[in-house]
């Protein structure tokens, strides 16, 4: 069972090189489980017992199950994650020539560990906007070139003797990937032509594209007994997959079970498809209105709702144990971590901690606690943003991992499995 579920996670990650593809991967599984699509621009007709999903920008998705009609008193149970990951976005007019080398001009997206992208086969994926009959609604298509066409080579140690003492990278100079080389002049539209060929459209029909680099190497299990998962984008596709598994196996009979996968968490969530938007609250209100409820019912339901914010946590690193909190080490195989911060970079308080801890204890699921060292700032999640918009109780939890924001990250298989179990338990209440 563990091996099968882990392989399904790897398949999910491999099929999801960008936030657009992650959303498409979620939709594929939802539709196979008979979730019905709700068009945001059309009226919604909902019923108790129904399973539904809706999307925005091709890069965020909300799925929900209506378990009962007493939503005012039973509220929403929400699992929130995100589908984007740090990396590089290809700029417009990206092709550059340098002494016969053909490079692409890129821009960093989020806070990646830049050195991990060097000397690694890279491909390109994203969304392409095409001409349509409606000037306000271009046709969009997802694209994945799915072959190693790019690489960012390191500078040889002979030309940089201090490389092992630490190097500061300039994103406009040092991290531009090589596409090819040529001894004669080449077309200035190599990527555009490649996109057109891949999508089987005319290059003149391509208006723009959201294109991202991604590591071409596939995810795999490593370790003496294959006890670790090594893959790109474990932050946060491992949590997204866990939340998706939970909503697909929802057994709750109360209120509404809801899964939301946002975009743009890695850059602050300040977009229409991010957590700092009205997307979730607007969807919740439409659900209640479609069920014939008054708006007052929404405010009552929010008082009885709970958010489980799912974003990966940090494992204590065996080579840098001094970087972890001295009394709260987070270790592999000991379950998901409840994330706590005095300044509320995470939403957890004693009340919400008790909820998740109680769920885990009731189902014999191990869990642990993550706090930053007091002299380390740490990161944040969609939790504080979402909870502050909705005004609901919330806990931040995450599957612990090493090498967060590397081009390739690492987590324990056991902890991934425990997280899935905990999320399923949440949707059984």
Cα-atom radius of gyration of the chain, to the nearest Å? 22
Q: What is the pLDDT of the chain when averaged over all its residues?
A: 97
Q: Judge if 329 and 315 occupy the same domain.
A: yes
**pLDDT tens for each residue of 66-103:** 999 999 999 999 999 999 999 999 999 999 999 999 99
Say how far apart CA 378 and CA 372 lie, in whole Å.
Answer: 6
Q: Judge if 24 and 74 occupy the same domain.
A: yes
Single out the residue in 215, 249, 279 at which a domain terminates: 215
Helix (H/G/I), strand (E/B), else coil: 52 = strand
Q: Judge if 70 and 14 occupy the same domain.
A: yes
Residue 392: give the domain boundaries.
2-85+232-426
Q: In what side-by-side order are the strands of the sheet with 220-222? A: 220-222, 228-231, 409-412, 400-402, 313-314
Say how far apart CA 140 and CA 350 lie, in whole Å.
Answer: 45
Number of domains in the chain: 2
The residue with tokens 């990206």 is 94
210 CA to centre of own chain: 17
Cβ atoms of 64 and 56 within 8 Å: the answer is: no
CATH number at residue 417: 3.40.630.10
Share of the chain above pLDDT 90, in %: 98
Q: Judge if 251 and 329 occupy the same domain.
A: yes
Q: Judge if 384 and 274 occupy the same domain.
A: yes
Say how far apart CA 129 and CA 252 lie, in whole Å.
Answer: 40
CATH number at residue 108: 2.30.250.10
Helix count and strand count (H, E) for the chain: 10, 20
Say how far apart CA 307 and CA 352 lie, in whole Å.
Answer: 9
Cβ atoms of 181 and 100 within 8 Å: the answer is: yes
How large is the average pLDDT for residues 291-296? 95
How large is the average pLDDT for residues 130-140? 97
Q: Among 1-5, 88-92, 326-330, whose mean pLDDT is lowest?
A: 1-5
Q: Judge if 265 and 412 occupy the same domain.
A: yes
| pLDDT of 2 | 85
| pLDDT of 212 | 98
Distances (CA, A) of 418 to 60, 64, 188, 244: 25, 22, 50, 14
| pLDDT of 101 | 97
Closest CA relative to residue 57, chosen from 40, 69, 76, 77: 40
Cβ atoms of 406 and 347 within 8 Å: the answer is: no
Cα angle 422, 11, 309; round to 5: 30
Q: Judge if 386 and 243 occupy the same domain.
A: yes
The answer, yes or no, to whether residue 260 has pLDDT greater than 80, is yes
**pLDDT tens for each residue of 180-205:** 999 998 999 999 999 999 999 999 99
The residue with tokens 């974003």 is 311
Q: Judge if 401 and 263 occupy the same domain.
A: yes
Query: Would you give the DSSP letter of residue 28?
Result: H
Q: Judge if 257 and 297 occupy the same domain.
A: yes
Sequence-separated (6 or more) residues with CB below 8 Å from residue 5: 245, 416, 417, 420
**Would residue 221 count as lying in a domain?**
no
**Would residue 190 count as lying in a domain?**
yes
The residue with tokens 């919330």 is 394
**pLDDT tens for each residue of 333-372:** 999 999 999 999 999 999 999 999 999 999 999 999 999 9
Q: Judge if 69 and 107 occupy the same domain.
A: no
Say how far apart CA 361 and CA 140 lie, in whole Å.
Answer: 46
Q: Judge if 364 and 236 occupy the same domain.
A: yes
| pLDDT of 377 | 87
Single out the residue in 215, 245, 265 at which a domain terminates: 215
How large is the average pLDDT for residues 410-425? 98
| pLDDT of 1 | 73
Q: Judge if 191 and 254 occupy the same domain.
A: no
Closest CA relative to residue 30, chosen from 4, 8, 61: 61
């Amino acid at each position: 069972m563990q091996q099968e579920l882990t392989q399904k996670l790897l398949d999910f990650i491999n099929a999801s090189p960008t936030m657009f593809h992650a959303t498409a991967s979620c939709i594929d599984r939802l539709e196979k489980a008979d979730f019905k699509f709700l068009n945001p621009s059309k009226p919604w007709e909902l019923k108790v017992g129904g399973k539904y999903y809706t999307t925005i920008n091709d890069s965020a998705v909300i799925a929900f199950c209506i378990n009962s009609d007493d939503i005012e008193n039973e509220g929403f149970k929400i699992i929130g994650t995100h589908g984007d990951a740090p990396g590089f976005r290809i700029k417009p007019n990206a092709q550059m020539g340098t002494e016969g080398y053909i490079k692409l001009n890129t821009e960093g997206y989020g806070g990646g560990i830049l050195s991990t992208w060097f000397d690694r086969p890279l491909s390109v994926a994203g969304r392409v906007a095409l001409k349509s009959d409606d000037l306000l609604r271009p046709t969009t298509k997802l694209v994945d070139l799915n072959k190693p066409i790019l690489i960012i080579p390191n500078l040889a140690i002979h030309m940089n003797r201090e490389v092992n003492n630490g190097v500061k990278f300039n994103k406009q100079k040092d991290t531009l990937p090589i596409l090819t080389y040529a001894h004669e002049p080449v077309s200035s539209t190599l990527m555009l032509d490649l996109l057109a060929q891949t999508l089987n459209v005319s290059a003149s029909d391509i208006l723009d594209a959201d294109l991202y680099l991604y590591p071409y190497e596939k995810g795999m299990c490593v370790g003496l007994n294959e006890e670790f998962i090594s893959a790109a984008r474990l932050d946060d596709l491992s949590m997204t997959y866990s939340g998706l598994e939970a909503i697909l196996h929802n057994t709750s009979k109360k209120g509404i079970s809801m899964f939301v996968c946002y975009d743009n968490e890695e850059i602050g969530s300040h977009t229409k498809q991010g957590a700092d938007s009205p997307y979730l609250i607007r969807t919740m209100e439409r659900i209640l209105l479609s069920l014939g409820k008054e708006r007052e019912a929404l405010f009552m339901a929010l008082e009885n709702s709970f958010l489980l914010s799912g974003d990966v946590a940090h494992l204590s690193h065996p080579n840098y144990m001094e970087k972890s909190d001295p009394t709260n080490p987070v270790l592999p195989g000991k379950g998901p971590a409840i994330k706590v911060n005095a300044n509320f970079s995470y939403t957890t308080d004693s009340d919400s901690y008790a909820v998740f801890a109680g769920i885990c204890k009731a189902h014999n699921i191990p869990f642990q606690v993550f706090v930053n060292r007091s002299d380390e700032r740490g990161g944040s999640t969609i939790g504080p943003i979402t909870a502050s918009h909705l005004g609901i109780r919330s806990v931040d939890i995450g599957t612990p991992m090493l090498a967060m924001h590397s081009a390739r990250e690492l987590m324990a298989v056991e902890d991934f499995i425990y997280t899935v179990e905990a999320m399923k338990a949440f949707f059984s209440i």
